[in-house]
């Protein structure tokens, strides 16, 4: 019998209940040394070689927008996610930012379309989201994305980080283009504890049970974790306590941020990053997880495999990054012709994050990365 290694947090108050407010005093954060580069920091190369950033467009359907058609290689985005809708034979691309693009051929994409309407909830007015995903489950469509409220301080890690309300939420719609709306009857509902920094949640079913796999942010806990809770059948709430599957530092390829020279949002934050989980099974039925961190060549895509074949692991990390060339937050999908593909964002130099497609072989026990795919 294989021992299952999982860490279960002690029972805490249901996050749907009223939250007792505590008085928080913002901490001092340690600035990055002069001349540093890193995630979320200003780019230092000249405007001649670095084009101006595109104007951000809100993902709320209540906001105006201009719809255009572009080739995939003209798009800039972090954390791309492609959902192939078999009913309409349309591919739906979303990402951090939360907008939706549509395509029939994976080459030309029309958008950005608004995705959600969160009027009357705590998310109203917070129209930029991180790591959006679309899932079809039992005839409905679900949109998982992370909202951040920079006006609500929920925790302070002394001399490190001020934690603002940050939660992955699950919204629902009857159609893949939305509009996606809040499920839980409580407009102030958080899926996890109100004072946790939670990002990059994704949905996975195992033996008919819906799981919500998420990241407990390294900015708060230093060594970022990958965790899960069990959801109610309608996905409107969690019905279990969190279970910790692994920590970022368990992967040999994931490096500590300060020692690796990485600064985050202009701060010197030591620790190890977990990002972007996606569960999958190989052709032989082996359970794996795609996830990302930072390595020797900056951002990196990694893979872990469950030794027991179930979500509870134990999770064994690959020795080397799956794609370690400043690429990451990838996911797998199947084209309407049956081809398995991998979409990931990649950065050349100091340029923007760009979505790229690769062929993938998942017929055996492990994922094998193939050639760049050009539709």
**DSSP secondary structure letters along 105-165:** SSSEEEEEEP-B--TTSTTTT----EEEEEEEETTEEEEEEEEEEEEEEEEEETTTEEEEE
Tens digit of each residue's pLDDT (9 = 90 or more) over 143-199:
999 999 999 999 999 999 999 999 999 999 999 999 999 999 999 999 999 999 999
* DSSP letter assigned to residue 342: E
pLDDT on residue 127: 86
pLDDT on residue 364: 97
Cβ distance 287 to 310 under 8 Å?
Answer: yes
56-238+324-372 is a CATH 3.40.50.300 domain: no
Place of tokens 């939420």: 169
* DSSP letter assigned to residue 250: G
Tens digit of each residue's pLDDT (9 = 90 or more) over 302-351:
999 999 999 999 999 999 999 999 999 999 999 999 999 999 999 998 78
* pTM reported for the whole predicted model: 0.93
Q: Quote the radius of gyration of the chain (alpha carbons, Å).
A: 20
Give the closest residue to 280 by CA, choosing from 367, 357, 372, 343: 367
Q: What angle do CA 187, 85, 170 make, to 5 degrees?
A: 15
């Amino acid at each position: 019998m294989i021992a299952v290694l999982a860490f279960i947090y002690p029972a805490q108050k249901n996050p749907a209940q009223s939250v007792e407010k505590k008085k928080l005093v913002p901490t001092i954060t340690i600035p990055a040394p002069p001349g540093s580069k890193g995630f979320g920091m200003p780019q230092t190369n000249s405007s001649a070689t670095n084009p101006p950033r595109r104007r951000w467009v809100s993902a709320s359907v209540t906001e105006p927008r201009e719809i255009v058609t572009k080739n995939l290689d003209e798009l800039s985005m972090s954390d791309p996610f492609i959902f192939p809708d078999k009913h309409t034979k349309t591919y739906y691309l979303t990402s951090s930012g939360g907008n939706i693009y549509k395509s029939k051929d994976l080459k030309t994409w029309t958008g950005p379309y608004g995705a959600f309407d969160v009027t009357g909830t705590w998310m109203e007015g917070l129209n930029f989201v991180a790591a959006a995903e679309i899932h079809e489950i039992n005839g409905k469509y679900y949109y998982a994305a992370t909202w951040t409220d920079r006006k609500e301080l929920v925790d302070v890690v002394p001399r490190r980080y001020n934690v603002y309300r940050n939660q992955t939420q699950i919204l629902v719609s009857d159609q893949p283009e939305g509009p996606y709306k809040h499920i839980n009857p409580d407009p102030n509902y958080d899926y996890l504890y109100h004072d946790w920094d939670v990002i990059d949640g994704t949905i996975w079913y195992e033996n008919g049970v819906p799981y919500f796999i998420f990241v407990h942010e390294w900015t708060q806990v230093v060594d970022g974790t990958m965790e899960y809770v069990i959801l109610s059948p309608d996905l409107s709430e969690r019905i279990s306590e969190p279970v910790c599957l692994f920590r970022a530092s368990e992967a040999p390829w994931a490096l500590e941020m300060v020692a690796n020279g990485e600064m985050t949002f202009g701060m010197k934050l030591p620790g190890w990053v977990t990002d972007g989980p996606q569960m999958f099974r190989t052709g032989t039925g082996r359970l794996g997880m795609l996830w990302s961190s930072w390595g020797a060549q900056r951002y990196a895509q990694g893979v872990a495999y469950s030794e027991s074949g179930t979500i509870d692991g134990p999770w064994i990390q690959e020795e080397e990054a799956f794609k370690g060339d400043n690429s990451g937050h990838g996911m797998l999908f199947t084209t309407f012709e049956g081809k398995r593909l991998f979409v990931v964002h990649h950065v050349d130099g100091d340029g923007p994050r760009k979505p790229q497609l690769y062929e993938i072989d998942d017929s055996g026990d492990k994922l094998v990365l193939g050639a760049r795919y050009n539709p």
